[in-house]
Amino acid sequence: MNRPIYLSAREAAAELGVQPATLYAYVSRGLISSVAGHGKKRRYDAADVRRLKGRRAAEDHTGSRPLTGDPVLETELTLISDNGPVYRGKLASDLAETSTLETVATLLWRSDADPFAEKAPKGPPDLPQGLGPLDRLMMALAAWPLQDKAAYTQAPKLLQTKGAALLRYSVAAMLDTDPVSVPIHTQIAEAYGVSTGAKNVIRAALVLCADHELNTSAFAARCAASTRAPLHAALLSGIGAFMGPRHGVAPDRAAAWLAGIEPDSDIETILSDRLSRGEPLPGFGHSVYQGRDPRADCLLDLLLESETGNPFVAALPGLIEVAQDLFGQPPNIDFALAAVQRTYGLPKDAAKTIFCTGRMVGWIAHTLEQYASPEKIRPRAAYVGERPE
């Protein structure tokens, strides 16, 4: 973890453009934290000062409000801790040891009964050939009202069962198969034709990807839900945000450079060349975790434990060590998913399909939680354009 930076009272007041008395008022209101310094002087948290500065600038229309970092709504779903996501009080890495995605869905959706007890729905209509899995998913979700006459329901007692049906329906759309009632990790493993060991790794990956607090796609789903858009439309909002290369398609970027790595490759030379060209290393570093991404560590540990005889897996620790030495950042969940895809020879879209499948559970959970809130999400912007004379 990075050590916090502290400012003197004069520095903090100068950065905020206020008098010391106003700074002390911010401290008393809990907006800025302080610690004891030398003598009777106190030091002030620079991160708090800059966060408050951004907030005040937005209110005064003199600058831009930071788009990351500040809590904007309350949730009981997921806490991001130093040990990774915690789903309703249960550490995701602990759940990944044995739980299925269905079990995690029941937990996150706070279901009293099993929402997956009903038989699987019918499959999506015939979709155009040549579409990737995420594009198939978008078209299938748009067609959901043809499948379910109650697609627009807001009845709480129906929504969890609808969520389970939509999850099975969506997985089938991405895999281009028929919905079935077997566990989702089994359906994915059978579609990819992989071993029992691979099936267990896929199961854990789904659990680790289920939710990550207020990420961009979850926020998009919540915005739609706050307008009382139906469940399938909220999921469409989530998948729209997910499809960007800075979010759900990020495993593709990691898989692209990882595809050129062989067990006997000179990894240091390959990555040094990349560094010298000024190219980033997708799959390393994370905007939320200042240190390691615990989800990646959990999934990579399981992969190393499960595939001891695989030459590529055996080379992974050395590859990660070199990457960290050169780029200064540890692997994230995108790299771990790309490594799973490469290890088992899965189709090129498998990593992001697994990621999306797991995250759909989170989108449904956020949608259901937002339905219970009376507020519509409607943030304000800080206008910095031209004004009338």
Exposure letters 354-368 (e unless 16+ CB within 10 A, then b): bbbbbbbbbbbbbbb
CA dist 238 and 76 (Å) reads 19
CA dist 312 and 330 (Å) reads 19
Handedness of CA 129, 132, 136, 139 (dihedral sign): negative
Closest CA to 361 of 210, 226, 176: 210
Task: Judge residue 63's burial from the number of C-beta atoms within 10 Å of its C-beta, 0-12 exposed, 13-18 middle, 19 or more buried.
Answer: middle
Catalytic residue among 148, 286, 293, 366: 286
Largest CA distance in the chain: 75
Is 286 a catalytic site residue? yes
Q: How far is CA 96 from CA 2, 87, 105, 207, in A?
A: 28, 11, 13, 6
CA dist 162 and 150 (Å) reads 9
Catalytic residue among 185, 334, 349, 366: 334
Is 334 a catalytic site residue? yes
Give me the amino acid identity at 387.
R
CA dist 373 and 240 (Å) reads 23
Give me the amino acid identity at 24.
Y
Q: How far is CA 159 from CA 48, 76, 109, 268, 368, in A?
A: 40, 18, 10, 51, 8
To the nearest 10 degrees (0 to 180), the angle between helices 196-208 and 333-344 is: 160
Residue given tokens 């198969």 in the structure block = 177
Is the CB of residue 173 less than 8 Å from the CB of residue 137? yes
**Active centre residues (catalytic):** 286, 334
